[in-house]
Structure 1
């Protein structure tokens, strides 16, 4: 390891040389109180910024172990430190001048959700702190401006470290609040199964968002208040008593007029699989880990998926127990999404009729009289909903505004009235008696064939470099193959999408051997991230990318939408 003085002397030697001379700075340098590592140097001032990391020993960072004794607390603390360093970086970014990205200082941009990221890692054993950032090395044209880089590395960055990464300089009360909130959120999520619940929405929550392009809470939004029939009171470790609406296992229907908050409630439940920061309004909207949002997805590929639970006897004779298509219809895509969720271990399905295929969800009695069952290959979801719960333990929450048929099978019916929930189960059941439906259900689907064993593509074994490109939250590209993730709605950060791309690369190289099932492949990827940290996905590439950890369900979703996957 070199010293900061060595780095300063090196910068003096390469000043005003051609930009490639910056490559000589790569290495680790001891600064007062921390180690600076220059991990990857950009090729020119207009290329992606250089990757740096800051290492602070546990003794110097000195964060009390009570703040990160639980994994959820550690992730919340890492998130808070990333946000704080990001605010410091915004203040100093571009204070150093030059062409291209010269002077940029940035870290991961965190949203409303608390995610585990490669941007910041606190070692749970030693307390050592690692923070990754990007810096645009300054240049005039393509000539090194080492004096401006010296300003960043010896003046601006040390200031950020002092103000964001050392416990003695931070608000201890705020950090304790962050840790306590994380523990309370974890407590609720762990308590759900024992209470017979699949989700909880606390009284006082603010569910509406500021706008369609902002995840921040709406100012003066309607405060959530549980109907007394569904009220549940929890005793949290730090918050104490907290009352809210418990959504019970089974089948729950959310109804109401347009613009009354049905989809807003469902969206909150959908994102309740993640913890949220204080002030978000959804801090105590908690959904069990295995919840999956389901929708129709016209045009997606389906690879050897058993959709026979919903679709059989196709006119072309196509096998629906190993169904394959490069261009699925609305109904077949939604059927595949449900079955793949079962394979992924989903415990709760979240469905909005607005984004569903109508012929997949329901066939009314008049249509059944005209088009007899033996002429229709689709068994609608309404006829399998109870079976999913009884046979597979999978609950369902459905938003419906146009058809009352689901009143008959729902265990609980919630009406959203101007964003206020009301339990109308008894009323809806009484009214449904006047509109009987065909009670003849199809034969149980039986065991699903979930034995899919993917194989690696030859191009990943050749040793050639695979081009990986992330397209925000919309998808990821491997060479010329784009994996479309636009409709995987519980992906909430582009860094999760990037992590999925690295998961695909790692799986192709190490896991897709034709012997492991898809579930075993996903379990191995999840175990790798848990055991060796998220950064372990970035093997043999230049520096560690900014990644956020995806759930196992999103890894499944990505693999299932990868057209290059060989089954």
Structure 2
């Protein structure tokens, strides 16, 4: 997926000042269908926490207009479901590497489902929105805010352009995106059992080895690595 997502500090999600709601995934789907055809700002009624079964979907900030910056969501999977071994994230560098790896897996799952390009351009009154965006990693493995992993949960942060027909809520499409497509993406990318464990651990070991070598440069009076043939 192209650039996207949101860039809050890891422990400071952006939250709207509206009253927060709680409910189940089926209740969220019912609410979205009920809002179908309503004025777009009514999406703000859904700000809060929704129990989707294997994960919690948190709507922190809802856009007030279909042409405004997209809405901020978090997906929080408890470790009792995600089941990542502590050895995969129990040091800072391995935590950074795991978060990077999961961000890449999440981007791939979103792209494979076509959710990064779901918006349709049908003019002012046409259907628009529905696209899911995650902060896309570049070549380097660095600390980012798109995914957070700790002993309690795995949390992914994304933006979603909530669907609209003109300036009215397209509730059925929104329900499909949030309660059908998004759970599939989560199951494909944020659960240890769904990933190639040997590939994941080889990635973590490689990043850890690189960091160790970088930290060893000064001890050997070296300043940098130079590629063969340079």
| Gap runs ≥5 in structure 2 | 1-21
Q: 2-side partners of 1:81 and 1:127: how far apart? A: 16
Listed one character per residue, the Cα deviations across residues 252-290 of structure 1 (whole Å, up to 9, x for unaligned) are: xxxxxxxxxxxxxxxxxxxxxxxxxxxxxxxxxxxxxxx
1:198 deviation in Å?
Answer: 1.5
Q: 2-side partners of 1:95 and 1:48: how far apart? A: 16
| Gap runs ≥5 in structure 1 | 206-223, 226-418, 420-567
Listed one character per residue, the Cα deviations across residues 124-181 of structure 1 (whole Å, up to 9, x for unaligned) are: xx15111000111001100110000011011110110000000001000111011101
Residue 169 (structure 1) aligned with residue 190 (structure 2):
no
Residue 148 (structure 1) aligned with residue 173 (structure 2):
yes
- What does 1:120-139 align with in structure 2 at a 5 Å threshold? 120-123=147-150, 126-139=151-164
Cα distance change, pair 164–118 in 1 and its aligned pair in 2 (3 A)? same
1:55 deviation in Å?
Answer: 0.3
Q: 1-side partners of 2:33 and 2:136: how far apart? A: 33
Listed one character per residue, the Cα deviations across residues 373-429 of structure 1 (whole Å, up to 9, x for unaligned) are: xxxxxxxxxxxxxxxxxxxxxxxxxxxxxxxxxxxxxxxxxxxxxx4xxxxxxxxxx
Listed one character per residue, the Cα deviations across residues 5-55 of structure 1 (whole Å, up to 9, x for unaligned) are: 221221122111111111111110000200000111111111111110000
Q: 2-side partners of 1:109 and 1:12: how far apart? A: 31
Contact 1:96 1:148 in 2 (8 A): no
Greater helix percent: which structure? 2
Contact 2:120 2:127 in 1 (8 A): no
Match of 2:114 among 92, 95, 103: 92
SS of 2:225's partner is strand
Match of 2:32 among 7, 11, 15: 11
Cα distance change, pair 46–65 in 1 and its aligned pair in 2 (3 A)? same
Find the counterpart in structure 2 of residue 197 from structure 1: 222
SS of 1:137's partner is coil
Aligned length: 203
Match of 1:27 among 25, 43, 48: 48
SS of 1:112's partner is coil
Listed one character per residue, the Cα deviations across residues 442-488 of structure 1 (whole Å, up to 9, x for unaligned) are: xxxxxxxxxxxxxxxxxxxxxxxxxxxxxxxxxxxxxxxxxxxxxxx
Find the counterpart in structure 1 of residue 16 from structure 2: none
SS of 2:73's partner is strand
Aligned-pair Cα RMSD in Å? 1.6
Cα distance change, pair 121–101 in 1 and its aligned pair in 2 (3 A)? farther
Q: 1-side partners of 2:83 and 2:71: how far apart? A: 28
Contact 2:120 2:128 in 1 (8 A): no
- What does 1:336-347 align with in structure 2 at a 5 Å threshold? none
Match of 1:103 among 130, 140, 149: 130
Listed one character per residue, the Cα deviations across residues 215-242 of structure 1 (whole Å, up to 9, x for unaligned) are: xxxxxxxxx14xxxxxxxxxxxxxxxxx
Contact 1:97 1:148 in 2 (8 A): no
Contact 1:62 1:127 in 2 (8 A): no
- What does 1:290-329 align with in structure 2 at a 5 Å threshold? none
Contact 1:119 1:131 in 2 (8 A): yes
Find the counterpart in structure 1 of residue 203 from structure 2: 178
TM-score scaled by length of structure 1 = 0.35
Match of 1:50 among 50, 66, 71: 71
Listed one character per residue, the Cα deviations across residues 62-104 of structure 1 (whole Å, up to 9, x for unaligned) are: 1112212221111011011111111111233244757585011
Residue 116 (structure 1) aligned with residue 143 (structure 2):
yes
